[in-house]
Amino acid sequence: MSSLITCHSTLFWYNPAMQWSSRARLLVLALICLFWTGLIFVGHFFPAAPFVSVPWRGEQSFEDLLRREGRKTTPPPDFAFLGIDQSTLQLPPLTPEEVAGSRGLQLLSERPYPWSRELWALLLDKLFAAGARVVMFDLLFNPPNEGDPTFHAALDRYRDKVVVSANFDFQNGAQAITPNDTLIRPPQLQDNRVGFVNFWPDTIDGKTRAATYRVTNRQLAGLAPQAGDEIFESLAARALTEIGHANDVPDDFRGHMMRFTPPDAFQPSPLYEVFDRKLWHANYADGAFFKDMVVMVGPSAQVWHDVVDTPMSPNTPGPTIHFQAMAAALGHEFLRPTPRKIEMVLVCAAGLVAWLLVAFVRKPLVCLGGLVVITAGYLFTARLLYDSTGLLLLTVPVLSALVLSGLFSLGFEYFLERLEKLRTRRTLERYVSKNLVKEILDNPDSYYSSLRGVRVPVTILFSDLIGFTTLAEKADPEALVAQLNEYLSRMTSEIFS
């Protein structure tokens, strides 16, 4: 009984220290969460800094994962890609009669690429005779070449149905590389048959995620656009206008993040097949396949190295990226980033949630489970918003702030618990037996509930020490407690044995 009284008195004496520790605990947990949340903030403003910028760089990788795994833009069924592939560059074995019966095959076999541009005039005649809506050329026709007058006549003949390429060469001061003057009269970039083929990749990882449909001459010089600037339109914008969807073309001068189609949406067909009578009949039903089609003509052979690094594939064929831009505009399938202010609020909220969870739940396994549930729920929400609205919800920095704050706070909680148990054990062992201390610390709930009073059957052994009062008045307190503990411990051992 004296041991229980001594133990209870000791815990009562120790309680103010524990209250102070509880107040300090909340402050330390707040500082831990503030540190990690602040570190995430710093990474946002210093994207090139090592370590602290990792969550923000990881956000772009997560967004690319959403692009690959999330909902895709439905590819328009009326888009066809005629590719200059290896079989077109090096024709398969053909009989002399087959070559003689096709002017196109004759031009393809006369010499290596670039062929006479009469070939492109023949192609336009054949496709439009089959009922094609628009033909796009992802090819530059800048140097003069044989057959230019014939191709020029075809471009004039199908003025409202054909679009050819121009390119801004930024290694030479954004110089415009346009079709030569024989094909289209200057200024070529103001002609509705000419559109630029440039895409502006991300400056950090070089991936192309956005399409720019219009730029101004001031933008090309690195300046902000102003009213009255000369406006240039992209190949995709020109083609959309020619098929009657000018209103679907964004009317601003910034890049628009695209929701991509599946990677295999626009598979190339060999260009030479159009000029082979047997294949024209077998594969294209004598041209019926091309009725009301938008046809892209461009390189597809590996030797061209005309590929674009996109989130869908590092080897996306260059011509198909224009189809991607058109499909996104037709379906209004553009992605939106989280607004800057909302990003900051989400990061702060993540740190606050971690602090509230660890500071007031006080159960490590429940806290850990809570972090897992919140993380899973947030990831599900990010996927849902991407698929349904096109919003790229800020995810990696937010979850980094939550998880880092939560885990390090739990680590501090574990350290604090071990420290408090050690201090309590050392204090109690000065007054009571080690077995009792072990029982109290291992089962604190049971002990504290017993202090409120419980009814249990017990056997009580009273031990009277002769002369204890006189001894207690004269002896040193610490020596007396040590002697008393030794006596009670030996007596307890004898009783239980």
Q: Taking the mean position of all CA atoms in its chain, how far away is CA 428?
A: 55
Q: What are the CA-CA distances from residue 314 to residues 56, 155, 318, 357 (Å)?
A: 21, 34, 11, 42
Spatial separation of the C-alpha atoms in residues 2 and 468, rounded to whole Å: 13
Residue 10 has pLDDT above 50, yes or no: no
Cα distances (Å, whole numbers) of residue 198 to 120, 309, 321, 434: 23, 13, 10, 79
Q: What is the pLDDT of residues 15-64, one digit of tens each?
A: 444 444 677 888 989 999 999 999 998 888 887 778 888 999 899 999 99
For 196, list phi and psi in degrees, rounded to 5.
-75, 150
**Lookup result for tokens 């610490």:** 478
- pLDDT at residue number 5: 42
For the cut 70, the answer to whether the pLDDT of residue 464 exceeds it is: yes
Closest CA to 168 of 185, 183, 189: 189
Q: Which residues pair with 315 in a beta bridge?
A: none
Tell me the pTM: 0.80
Mean pLDDT, the chain, integer? 89
Measure the CA–CA gap between 34 and 42, rounded to whole angstroms: 12
What is the tens place of the pLDDT at every residue in 116-147?
A: 999 999 999 999 999 999 999 999 999 999 99
| pLDDT single digits (tens) 139-163 | 999 999 999 999 999 999 999 999 9
Is the pLDDT score of 2 beyond 50? no
pLDDT of residue 473: 76
- Report pLDDT for 11: 43
Q: pLDDT above 90 covers what percent of the chain? A: 66
What is the arithmetic mean of pLDDT over 393-410? 95
The residue that leads in pLDDT, 73 or 422, is 73
> What percent of the chain clears pLDDT 70, i.e. is strictly above it?
90
Number of H helices, E strands in the chain: 18, 15
pLDDT at 103: 95
184-205 pLDDT tens trace:
999 999 999 999 999 999 988 8
What is the structure's pLDDT at 49?
77
Residue 3 confidence (pLDDT): 46
Is the confidence at residue 114, as pLDDT, over 50? yes
Alpha helices, DSSP H, located in 429-476: 434-442, 444-451, 468-474
CB 155 within 8 A of CB 184: yes
Reduced DSSP (H G I as helix, E B as strand, rest coil) percent helix, strand, coil of the chain, to 5: 55, 10, 35
pLDDT at 466 over 70: yes
Least confident of 12-26, 234-248, 396-410, 463-477: 12-26
pLDDT(14) > 60: no
Asked which of 247-256, 295-304, 467-476 is least confident by mean pLDDT, the reply is: 467-476
Q: What is the pLDDT of residues 469-478, one digit of tens each?
A: 777 777 787 7
The predicted pLDDT at position 128 comes to 98
Q: What tens digit of pLDDT does each residue of 56-108 get?
A: 989 999 999 999 999 999 999 999 999 999 999 999 998 899 999 999 999 99
If one counts every other C-beta atom within 10 angstroms of the C-beta of residue 192, the result is 12
Structure tokens at 206: 């070089």
- pLDDT at residue 12, rounded to an integer: 43
Which among 133, 127, 82, 321 has a CA at the least distance from the CA of 239?
Answer: 133
- Polymer length of the chain: 497
Q: Predicted confidence band at 225 (pLDDT cuts at 50, 70, 90)? A: confident
pLDDT in tens, 323-366: 999 999 999 999 999 999 999 999 999 999 999 999 999 888 99
